[in-house]
Amino acid sequence: MGDAGLTAGVERLADVAPGDWGALSCCPSYYLTHEWMSVMAPTVGSDLRALLVRDRSGAPLLGAPVTTVAAGGDAMYDPLGVLARACRDAEGGEPAAAGLAGLYPVVTVVAPGFVSGVCEAASLGGPGADAATGALLDGLEREARSRGAGAAAFLYLPEEPGGRLDRLAAARGYRPAVVAARCVLQVVWPTFEDYLGARTRTRRKSIRAEAERFRERFEVEVTGVEGLTDELAPLHAAWRAKQGRPVPEAALVRQYAAIRERLGPAVRLFVARDGGPPAAFAQFYEHGGTLYSRAVGFDYERVAGRFAYFNLLFYEPLRHAIAHGLRAVDYSMEAYEAKMGRGCTLQHLLVHLKPLAPVEPWFDECVRRADRGRREGFRRLRELHP
């Protein structure tokens, strides 16, 4: 199939029929599903939209979430800011990073949950897949120009050397750089004891001690969406504040109501109790044989010294995954040492950035430094946690 008859355009997410997005059955992450994006779009910004490639009959072939990021927006969803931080972290990267500010605003493919990707119809393949992907890239750049953007981007796109999107984006002038990594725990053990046996002696001893210390005071209740009650909001807000990303409790209460209404079947909660109200919790979503880690919350005084973070985020969910035949636990980004030390592997996440006007040589130097620095950092982590 050539490109004749293909159309690519941006639509309001609310106007995309769930069945149309559902027809894009090859979707690489729960965070790219229509249900998830519809509920969690406000966490990205006010204008998360859908870029769709359709065939001549109007049937969707490819789909990706897009948003416009201005200077000063949410730092986690800003491809220029993410690239600038990676460049600054690399030796000698400060001058180049400073020059990125002139490229705002930027239109980027990114979804709530810090992931980028393209969902596609199962029937798409062969030359038609290249044509459809080319149409998607055309649509992204057309949208960027219509909004006066200085660049088009994909943020947090999993690295797939030789993959179709990587290959075609590079041919059209997108510059790739590793900026983060996705942490995934592949569930390959028949029991939790087998998981412990695969850890180093030192780590095995520390995990046992952490689990014992936690269980001295707390019991863990594993629930579905019925456990997502408003009494978790103060714990959630306390964690967000500690991470430097404060959110009002009232906003979380509204979010919980939307989750209960529209995402309920996927919710899995691990709640720590000591006879009173919840002391801590970890929230996950179960989809396609994977648990996706999303949020935690703590009453920091009650859980002090009890290793609640490690128990609720790692050990209890792993027990659940093993018991229910799940294949993986997806822990998203950051906290790499803690996650790798407990068995996670890393998959590079890239920014693919295309300036829409000529840039000075500093731009490519910034991309190279950022990529080199992040790759070297992750290489060292893998050596520490083989």
Q: Which two tokens stand for residue 288?
A: 């396609």
Nearest to 18 by CA among 33, 32, 4, 40: 33
Instruction: Report the Cα 325 to chain-centroid distance in Å.
Output: 23
Q: Which pLDDT score is estimated for 2?
A: 43
Residue 122's CB: how many other CB atoms inside 10 A? 9
Q: Which pLDDT score is estimated for 92?
A: 64
The answer on 15 and 143 residing in a single domain is yes
The answer on 220 and 145 residing in a single domain is no
| Residue at 60 is within a domain | yes
Q: Which pLDDT score is estimated for 202?
A: 94
Q: Which pLDDT score is estimated for 93?
A: 63
Long-range contacts of 195-201 (CB under 8 A, 24+ apart): 195/318, 195/322, 195/343, 198/343, 199/342, 199/343
Number of domain units in the chain: 2
The answer on 312 and 213 residing in a single domain is yes
| Residue at 1 is within a domain | no
CA–CA separation, 168 vs 53, rounded Å?
16
| Residue at 312 is within a domain | yes
Q: Which pLDDT score is estimated for 361?
A: 85
Query: 179-213 pLDDT, tens per residue?
Result: 999 999 999 999 999 999 999 999 999 999 999 99
Longest dimension (CA), the chain: 66
| Residue at 343 is within a domain | no
| Residue at 341 is within a domain | no
Low-confidence stretches of the chain (pLDDT beneath 70): 1-4, 92-97
The answer on 292 and 220 residing in a single domain is yes
CA–CA separation, 270 vs 113, rounded Å?
19
The answer on 310 and 288 residing in a single domain is yes
Tell me, what CATH number does 366's domain have? 3.40.630.30
The answer on 140 and 252 residing in a single domain is no
Q: Which pLDDT score is estimated for 125?
A: 85
Q: Which pLDDT score is estimated for 4?
A: 61
The answer on 294 and 268 residing in a single domain is yes
CA–CA separation, 224 vs 135, rounded Å?
40
The answer on 242 and 138 residing in a single domain is no
The answer on 198 and 173 residing in a single domain is no
| Residue at 276 is within a domain | yes
Dihedral angle sign, alpha carbons of residues 19, 20, 24, 28: negative
| Residue at 339 is within a domain | no
Q: Which pLDDT score is estimated for 5?
A: 87
Peptide bond into 190 cis (omega under 30): no
The answer on 83 and 100 residing in a single domain is yes
| Residue at 336 is within a domain | no
Cβ atoms 243, 212 nearer than 8 A = no
The answer on 131 and 57 residing in a single domain is yes
The answer on 368 and 274 residing in a single domain is no
Task: Print the domain residue range for 276.
Answer: 188-326
Query: 335-365 pLDDT, tens per residue?
Result: 999 999 999 999 999 999 999 988 888 899 8
CA–CA separation, 185 vs 196, rounded Å?
13
Q: What is the DSSP letter of 156?
A: E
Q: Which pLDDT score is estimated for 161?
A: 87
3-state helix, strand, coil in the chain (%, to 5): 45, 25, 30
